[in-house]
Amino acid sequence: MSIAFTFPGQGSQSVGMGKDLAEAFPEARAVFDEVDEALDQKLSEIMWNGPEDQLTLTANAQPALMAVSMAVMRVLEANGVRLAEKVAYVAGHSLGEYSALCAAGAFSLSDTARLLRTRGNAMQSAVAVGEGAMAAIIGLEHADVEAVCAEVLPVGICQIANDNGGGQLVISGSKAAVEKAAALASEKGAKRAIMLPVSAPFHSDLMAPAASAMQHALDLVTKNDPVVPLIANVRAAPVRDAGEIAQLLVTQVTGQVRWRETVEWFGANDVTTLYEIGSGKVLTGLARRIDKNVTGIAVNTPADIEAAVKTLLG
């Protein structure tokens, strides 16, 4: 039986996140200071005090969520938890993949912050506001949603962006195509088809300009092989080569986040506990729905960290 650390994606942000960590632990405070310096912005001020609409901006939310995850990691490390000794794998949901790689030593903290700022800006500017959309489809199988996407292709791009498990899939693409697919999914028996309040059609082919921007950005940073394998979003299988990981990060911009398959892979490979490192408890909830034999544990408060240290070092 082994352990994996997972790292949350966009949507897990909330005003105030990480403030208790900064006040309790100098190691956490140092993370937020370094991210602020790397971005030449007081991102921590927005994280702790808002306004919420500024924190929700993709270019802010992505490095902010990574910063909280890394603050937790640095405190765990200061208390004797060594990733390479205690953890078999890392994985992250979309932007969380960058947090996972930073935690595993593939990127420096400053480079990760700058990569995510580039990623957020590139994803936001890839498609004009109002031209793209995303929708959550609840209660249809993966193959059925794929069929719906194929059926609306004459209208425009529409594809599965996230397979979150528990019967929840997210589709992404041109607004007209996604709206038609959502209506069609309801006709075909989906329990719910909900248009999502997002600013861009993430993880769709419309993000191709952002993929090019990330290719360039990743070419310029120092990359190391992670100290433990990454279960990559677009492959749902372990990868450890830094060059290959960088290419998969480019593919991930337009590709599907295969989270259900990731958790299923953990379950099939004797990984019984997933510690969710960072803001919120989204991945912990998804783990429970995907595989009853996999336990999710959220770690984001000082008390959570204390409990995790006791368990991991006990």
Q: Within 10 A of 270 (CB to CB), how many other CB atoms are there? A: 10
Could you tell me what percentage of the chain is helix, strand and coil, using 3-state DSSP and rounding each to the nearest 5?
Answer: 55, 15, 30
Q: At what angle do helices 242-254 and 96-103 cross, to 10 degrees?
A: 170
Alpha-carbon distance 257 to 162, whole Å?
5
Determine which one of 94, 99, 172, 174 is catalytic: 94
Q: Which residues contact 270 (CB under 8 A, 6 or more apart)?
A: 1, 2
Is position 93 annotated as part of the catalytic site?
Answer: no
Residue 98 corresponds to which amino acid?
Y
Assigned token pair, 19: 């403030």
Determine which one of 69, 93, 99, 203 is catalytic: 203
Residue identified by tokens 């990984």 is 271
Tell which residue, 202, 18, 13, has the closest CA to residue 94: 202
Q: How many residues does the chain have?
A: 314
Assigned token pair, 98: 């960058």
What is the spatial order of strands in the sheet that 132-138 belongs to?
158-165, 168-174, 132-138, 192-195
Concatenating the DSSP letter of every residue in 100-150 gives HHHHTTSS-HHHHHHHHHHHHHHHHHSS-TTTEEEEEEES--HHHHHHHHH
Q: Which residues contact 16 (CB under 8 A, 6 or more apart)?
A: 47, 48, 49
Provide the 3-class DSSP secondary structure of residue 267: helix
278: left (phi over 0), alpha (psi -120 to 50) or beta: left
Is position 94 annotated as part of the catalytic site?
Answer: yes
List residues with catalytic annotation: 94, 203
